[in-house]
Structure 1
Amino acid sequence: MQREEIQLLIISFSIVLFTLLLTVFILFFFFQKKKTKFLTDKLEAELRFQSELTKSKIEIKEQTLTNVSRELHDNVGQMLSVVLMQMNFLIEDNNRYSVSELKKIKELVTKSLNEIRLLSKLMNGDIFLNTNFITAISEDLDRIKALKKIKCEIHVSGEVRKINIEHETIIYRILQESISNILRHSCSDSIKINVLFTDVNCRIDIIDTGKGFDLEKYKKGSGLSNIETRADLIGANFMIYSDNKGTIVTIDYPIKE
């Protein structure tokens, strides 16, 4: 009888040990699978972020070159044509030679040089990497104000906080795309950007006083979708409001310590 009890005890112990080992193996397999999925998702998210970052950088350069080309043709080219025409008049007719005529030519040349300097500054491809997004977008607004004759202003409130440089590049691209939409579609005579820093977030409002648009129709467009996708990639909330008095685009970016 005692021998049977010992055998039963050994069998019971073996069953318990096997069950315990099986449980440990299942738990290990489960957590390993969960860990692998987490790492895979993290890697995919990082690849998506880097892809969007690269795309944003390329778009910034492309838009910069497009703007420079347009302004060289529409503004600088026209002013230099006028200068050339006036110089030809002076060469052909000595009687028109006067200090006032030369002053007019000088003013046009000076204005052309100033615009070329402004465009040259814009062509600095690393502007969004060497400075923060506030400085970069402020220089864009200065250029628009000088060349497009549109009222532009930016207001910054709170203590400016340091933001991840890659996130700044995407924020800058969001602002560029929003401003581009205003210039192309809104017929607004002003662009206003409010930037508010708090301890936990950076809230950016891009405001225009244009004709507005139908949000339901615009949601189908790629422009809004691109902005929303980029905001989501950096963990920011994206909001938009529009009526016949203008549009407000809001980006609420969380600041992590």
Structure 2
Amino acid sequence: MEEQGSQIVFILFSGAFLAAVMAIFVVSMVILHRQRQVQNKQKMEQIKVEYEKTLLNIENEIQQDTLAHIGRELHDNIGQLLSLSKLYLGSSKPEKQQEGRQLINQIITEVRGLSKTLNLDWVESITLREFIEQQLEKIQATGFCDTSIDLSGNETNLPKDKKLVLIRVVQECLNNAIKHASPSRLTVKLDYLGSDLKLQIRDDGKGFDMSIPSKGSGMTNLQKRMETIGGSFHISSSPGKGTEINLSLSI
């Protein structure tokens, strides 16, 4: 009887011990799960803050570039047109006065065009391909180097926020090529692959040694900007063999 009693006590004690272990395990898992939820929530909030900060910085940069462009246009283009129209309208010759009136109409058109660039509504009205084509045409027109663009797949109009980030990243990549690479040719490839967008920017310029740490933070900033919209940024280069930048994004 005593032996049976001891066995019963042992069984009860073992059961209680196992129940306590299970309870501790369950409580630990619940605490761990809640900690992970808090960490994930904090991480999501941080990503959201970085995303909003990136968009704000990009909007400010584009607006600053726009204001600088408007300043140049007012001084170099519209200012000259106004001076000419003043001379023509002050002439006693009817044909000169007519030319002056035509210049006034041209000035009105130019000013209307500039006013549209003061906000970012133009981002929604232009496709990524059209924007890149405009940028490459400007580069080609300067005689700096030859340019080309290749599009494959069915183009999809991106949401404004993602398009805004891509526009700025592309601008920076093209500007870097012009400033540092001295290329004879710039090529851009746009591939729409279902729900994925692949964008390649390649130049045949100087290139650089990627094993040497960069002194600036330009490329790191571009990579972070792509990450804020769920994309990726990859660059490859070597001295004398140009530079290739590949961007990818789910759309």
Q: Considering the TM-score relative to the shorter chain, is it more than 0.5?
A: yes
Which residue number in structure 2 is paired with residue 252 of structure 1? 248
Q: Which moved more, 1:183-192 or 1:159-168?
A: 183-192
Could you say which residue in structure 1 is the equivalent of 2:78? 76
CA distance in 1, matches of 2:198, 2:119: 27
Which 5+ residue runs of structure 1 have no aligned equivalent? none
- Whether 2:197 is the aligned partner of 1:202: answer yes
Other-structure match for 1:236: 232
Q: Which amino acid aligns with 2:43?
A: D
1:218-229 equivalences in 2 (<5 Å) = 219-229=214-224
Give the equivalent residue in structure 2 for 1:126: 121
Identify which of 43, 58, 71 aligns with 2:45. Answer: 43
Q: Which of 4, 11, 17 is residue 19 of structure 2 equivalent to?
A: 17
How far residue 52 of structure 1 moved from its aligned partner, in angstroms, is 0.8
Asked if the contact 1:76/1:115 (under 8 Å) is kept, the reply is yes
Stretch moving more, 42-51 or 4-13? 4-13
The CA distance in 1 between the partners of 2:33 and 2:127, in whole Å, is: 42
1:91-150 residue CA offsets vs partner (Å, 9 max, x unmatched)? 3xx5xx474x567657765665554444334334221245443344445566x3798577
SS of equivalent residue, structure 2 residue 115 = helix
Moved more, 50-59 or 128-137: 128-137
The root-mean-square deviation of aligned C-alpha atoms, in Å, is 3.8
> What is the deviation of 1:237?
2.5
Mapping of 1:75-224 within 5 angstroms?
75-84=77-86, 86-87=87-88, 91=91, 97=93, 99=95, 112=107, 115-138=110-133, 144=138, 154-182=149-177, 192-207=187-202, 212=206, 214=208, 219-224=214-219
Q: With structure 2 as the length reference, what TM-score do the two structures score?
A: 0.75
Deviations 1:3-61 (A, max 9, x none): 33322222121111111111212222222222322222222122111211121122222
Paired position in structure 2 for 1:57:
59
CA distance in 2, matches of 1:113, 1:149: 30
Look up the match of 1:32: 34
- Count residues with an aligned counterpart: 246
Q: Aligned pair in 2 of structure 1 residues 189, 74: CA closer, same or farther (>3 Å)? A: farther
Quote how far apart the aligned CAs of 1:170 are.
Answer: 0.8
- Change in CA separation of 1:73 and 1:169 when aligned onto 2, cut-off 3 Å: same
SS of residue in 1 equivalent to 2:221: helix
CA contact (8 A) 1:208 1:248 kept: yes
The percentage of counterpart residues that share the same residue type is 21
- 1-structure distance, mates of 2:143, 2:110: 13
Change in 2 beyond 3 A, CA 1:191/1:213: closer
User: 1 CA distance for matches of 2:110 and 2:103?
Assistant: 11
| Residues 207 and 249 in structure 1, CA contact (< 8 A), matched pair in contact too | yes
| CA 1:183–1:58: 2 relative to 1, 3 Å | same
Could you say which residue in structure 2 is the equivalent of 1:66? Answer: 68
Contact 1:193 1:206 in 2 (8 A): yes
Between the aligned partners of 2:98 and 2:209, the Cα distance in structure 1 is 52
Quote the Cα distance in structure 1 between the aligned partners of 2:100 and 2:142. 22
TM-score, normalised with respect to structure 1: 0.73
